[in-house]
Amino acid sequence: MATALAIDESRNGKPSGIQLVQVEGFLEVARRGSVSRAAEALFITQPTLTARLHGLERELGTPLFLRTPHGMRLTDAGRAWIPFAERALRALVDGRDALEQVMTASAGHLMIAAAPAVSTYVLPELLERFVAKHPRVEVSVRTGHSEDVVDLVVRDEVQLGLGRTIRHPDLELRPFHTEVLVLVCAPDHPFTKRDAVALAEVAAEKLIMFDRTSSYYEITQGAFLSAGVKLRGLMELDSIEAAKKMVERGLGVALLPATAVAREAAGGTLAVVAMTDAPPMHNSIVVFRRRDAGEPEGIVAAFLELIETRA
C-alpha cells in the first residue's frame, strides 16, 4: 500500500516532508521487529525500507529504533510516535474508503435545489428511485423559485438544480421533463359532461390561478391573451395545493400542472377536461449544473443517469 503523499504539517516552523510510505514502513518494522521481515511484508527491498526509515528519522530529528543483534527495538521517541503514525495511516485508509464510496455512489452527500412545483410533484419519485439504489447517500433539498435555484447552483451551494429553463453563462442545462398544464374542475362541473371545451368557455368561468411569481401564471395569462379572450373572474392563490382544494369545492376551474393533479384525477376528486382551441401550455424542466464542475462523477453522475432514463 505504498504512496508518496506527504504529511503536510510543520515542525519548529519548518515544513515537514514526511511521507506516508515512511510512516507505513516505520509501523511495519515496529510490529515485526525486523527490517528484512517488514520489507518482505511490504513487497519492497530491504535497502529501500532502510532508506525510508533513515529519512523519517532525519525529518523527526531523533532516532526511532535501536539496532540490536536481536532485531529492531523502539526508542522511547519511537514508542511515543506510534499512536500518531497509526492515526495518520488510519486517516489515509478512511479517506480512500470515503473517496471510493463517493465515486461509486454507495455513500456521500447529494445537494439539490428545486423549484416548488418540481420539489413537490416531480422530485419525490426521482428520489424514491435514487434512494432505493443508493440507500447510504444523504440527500439535502433546498427549494425556491427557479431564479433562486440558478443562484444556488452558480454560488456552488448545491451540486444540481431543477427548475424551468433559465439561461446562464456559467451553467449547463439538461432538459428532463416537460410539464403540461391541464384544465381541471370539480367532478360535478358541467364541463365533465363534454368531450372538450373552448378557451372562451373557460374564460367565462371563475379561473383559479396560483403563485403570481410562477412561470405557470405567465403561461396561463399568455394563453388567454394570445387567443384574445378576456377573463371574467379570477381567484389568486399562493400555491398549487390551495388551488386544487378550491377547485375540488367547486369554486372555479384551474389550469394546473398535470403531475400536480395526477393523484386527484385518478382518485376522482378532480376531473381533467380537454380544450379544443388552447395553444400549447407547457414548461420545460431542466437540470442546472456548473459548466466548470468537470465530468459528472459518483453521486452526481448516478443521479443524472437516473434523470436521463426518466426523460
- pLDDT per residue over 92-141, tens digit each? 877 777 777 666 656 688 999 999 999 999 999 999 999 998 888 889 99
Q: Whole-angstrom Cα distance, residue 133 to residue 153?
A: 25
Quick one: CA torsion of 118, 120, 121, 122, rounded to 10 degrees? 50
Tell me the CATH number at 132.
Answer: 3.40.190.10
Q: Are residues 300 and 152 in the same domain?
A: yes
Buried (b) or exposed (e) across 210-236, using 16+ Cβ within 10 A? bbeebbbeebbeebbeebebebeeebe
Tell me the CATH number at 34.
Answer: 1.10.10.10
Instruction: Say what the pLDDT of residue 15 is.
Output: 41
Q: Are residues 247 and 99 in the same domain?
A: no
31 occurs within a structural domain = yes
Q: Choose the most confident range, by mean pLDDT, from 136-140, 158-162, 222-226.
A: 158-162
Instruction: Say what the pLDDT of residue 16 is.
Output: 56
Report the share of the chain in percent with pLDDT over 90. 65
- pLDDT per residue over 53-72, tens digit each? 999 999 999 999 998 888 89
Instruction: Say what the pLDDT of residue 20 is.
Output: 83
77 occurs within a structural domain = yes
Question: At CB < 8 A and 24+ separation, what contacts does 170-174 make?
Answer: 170/290, 170/291, 170/292, 171/288, 171/289, 171/290, 171/291, 172/288, 172/289, 172/290, 172/291, 173/286, 173/287, 173/288, 174/286, 174/287, 174/289, 174/304, 174/307, 174/308
Gap between the terminal Cα atoms of the chain: 43
Residue 19 has pLDDT above 70, yes or no: yes
Instruction: Report the predicted TM-score, pTM, of the whole model to 2 decimal places.
Output: 0.67
74 occurs within a structural domain = yes
Quick count: other Cβ atoms within 10 Å of Cβ 204? 16
213 occurs within a structural domain = yes
Q: Are residues 182 and 206 in the same domain?
A: yes
Question: What grid cell was written down for 284?
Answer: 420545460
296 occurs within a structural domain = yes
Question: What grid cell was written down for 295?
Answer: 465530468
Report the share of the chain in percent with pLDDT over 70. 92
Instruction: Say what the pLDDT of residue 104 is.
Output: 64
Q: Are residues 169 and 194 in the same domain?
A: no
Q: Are residues 151 and 295 in the same domain?
A: yes
What is the DSSP secondary structure assignment for residue 19, as one 8-state letter? Answer: B
1 occurs within a structural domain = no
Instruction: Say what the pLDDT of residue 216 is.
Output: 86
Residues 6+ apart with CB under 8 A from 295: 301
2 occurs within a structural domain = no
Where does the pLDDT of residue 311 fall: very low under 50, low under 70, confident under 90, or very high at 90 and above? low
Instruction: Tell me the longest C-alpha to C-alpha distance in the chain.
Output: 104
Q: Are residues 164 and 261 in the same domain?
A: no
Q: Whole-angstrom Cα distance, residue 48 to residue 219?
A: 72
4 occurs within a structural domain = no
Beta bridge partners of 234: 207
Choosing from 44, 69, 103, the residue where a domain stops is: 103
- pLDDT per residue over 164-212, tens digit each? 999 999 999 999 999 999 999 999 999 999 999 999 999 999 999 988 8
Q: Whole-angstrom Cα distance, residue 302 to residue 52?
A: 41
Q: Which domain holds residue 136?
A: 108-174+290-310
Asked whether the beta carbons of 16 and 43 are under 8 A apart, the reply is no
Q: Are residues 124 and 268 in the same domain?
A: no
> Under DSSP, is residue 165 helix (H, G, I), strand (E, B) or coil?
coil
Q: Are residues 213 and 254 in the same domain?
A: yes
Question: Going by DSSP bridges, is the β-strand pair 282-290/10-11 parallel, antiparallel, or unpaired?
Answer: unpaired
Average pLDDT, the chain: 88
Choosing from 87, 103, 119, the residue where a domain stops is: 103
Could you tell me how far CA 289 lies from the centroid of its own chain?
A: 10
Q: Are residues 242 and 271 in the same domain?
A: yes
Instruction: Say what the pLDDT of residue 134 is.
Output: 87
User: Which residue's entry shows cell 525529518?
Assistant: 59
Where does the pLDDT of residue 3 fall: very low under 50, low under 70, confident under 90, or very high at 90 and above? very low
Q: Are residues 158 and 301 in the same domain?
A: yes
Q: Whole-angstrom Cα distance, residue 35 to residue 26?
A: 9
Instruction: Say what the pLDDT of residue 226 is.
Output: 83
Beta strands in the chain (DSSP E): 10-11, 14-15, 65-68, 71-74, 108-114, 137-143, 160-164, 171-185, 196-197, 206-210, 233-237, 253-257, 271-275, 282-290
Q: Are residues 252 and 184 in the same domain?
A: yes
Q: Are residues 23 and 163 in the same domain?
A: no
Question: What grid cell was written down for 256?
Answer: 394546473
Total tally of structural domains belonging to the chain: 3
Choosing from 51, 81, 103, the residue where a domain stops is: 103
Tell me the CATH number at 239.
Answer: 3.40.190.290
Count the residues in the chain: 311
